[in-house]
Amino acid sequence: MTTTTPRGSEARADVREIHRRLRRAHGPLDPPRKRDPLEELVLTILSQNTSDVNRDRAFEAMRRRFSTWEEVADAPTDDLREAIRPGGLANTKAPRIQRVLREIRDREGGLDLAWMRRAPDEEIEEYLLGLPGVGRKTAACVLAFALGRPALPVDTHVYRVAGRLGLLPVRATPDRAHEALKHLVPPGLRVPLHVALIRHGRAVCKAGVPRCEACPLADVCPSAASFLGAVP
């Protein structure tokens, strides 16, 4: 359920209050450990439609099987598919990873994205979005978690919770959701709020019927009343 998006200073005040309450409820909102940009890019592709545990298993299995990114790019696709099978959707992810790696190698003459550490956010995002199968969420993950930039990746949890809180336009597309939150959330809160919304989505604001009775945001959430009214 979504509502219209709040506007202006009132909306930013709402975001700061949401962040404050979620930090109090879920503890420190530190991002994952920083990785190399290429590692983060591949890890994010592996994360699609799977749990963090299975994503990490697939990533570690891939790195054990292939010692360099060149080997990953040039391996028989069936071998890569078998290595990342613990992460799910291996038939889709293996060729996608190889297409991305080969495109980077064609552009750069090698498999190294260290130049991104010195480049502006807009240049990095444009580059990443030009890679095959890379969308706004993946680009934002590289910006936020590999490069420490003020980006807010919108995954399924962030999209659901932000929508229920009225932070997104009604029926916003994923791209529109990224733009809406980019304009709404102050730069310094983007990464911690991403972490907070994911934790809250997993623990409280779940898909289906959320646990509104246990939610620290129930009194400021425009969706809570209807969910609470539906509980027998």
pLDDT along the chain (232 residues), means of 10: 50 86 94 90 94 94 96 98 95 97 97 97 98 96 96 96 94 94 95 97 95 95 83 47
State how far the Cα of 131 lies from the Cα of 31, in Å rounded to an integer.
Answer: 25
Token duo for residue 185: 């959330």
Q: Which of 34, 93, 137, 206 is catalytic?
A: 137
Token duo for residue 124: 């990095």
Q: pTM, whole model, 2 decimals? A: 0.90
Spacing of C-alpha 99 from chain mean position: 21
CATH number of 8-30+152-226: 1.10.1670.10
Residue 182 CB neighbour total at 10 angstroms: 16
Spacing of C-alpha 135 from chain mean position: 10
**Cα dihedral across residues 185, 189, 194, 199: positive or negative:** negative
* Residue type (1 letter), 135: G
End-to-end CA distance of the chain: 19
Spelled out in words, what is the top-level CATH class assigned to the domain 37-146?
mainly alpha
State how far the Cα of 162 lies from the Cα of 169, in Å rounded to an integer.
Answer: 10
Where are the domain boundaries for CATH 1.10.340.30 in the chain?
Answer: 37-146
Token duo for residue 123: 């240049």
Where are the domain boundaries for CATH 1.10.1670.10 in the chain?
Answer: 8-30+152-226
Kindly report each contact of residues 108-112 with a partner whose C-beta sits within 8 Å and lies 24 or more positions away, as own/partner: 111/38, 111/68, 111/69, 111/70, 111/73, 112/38
Residue 26 CB neighbour total at 10 angstroms: 18
State how far the Cα of 18 lies from the Cα of 16, in Å rounded to an integer.
Answer: 5
Backbone angles phi, psi at 180, to 5 degrees: -60, -45
**Catalytic residue list contains 93:** no
CA-CA distances (angstroms) from residue 99 to 43, 84, 224?
Answer: 15, 15, 43
Residue-wise pLDDT tens digits, 20-76: 999 999 999 988 778 899 999 999 999 998 989 999 999 999 999 999 999 999 999
Spacing of C-alpha 20 from chain mean position: 21
**pLDDT of res. 226:** 85
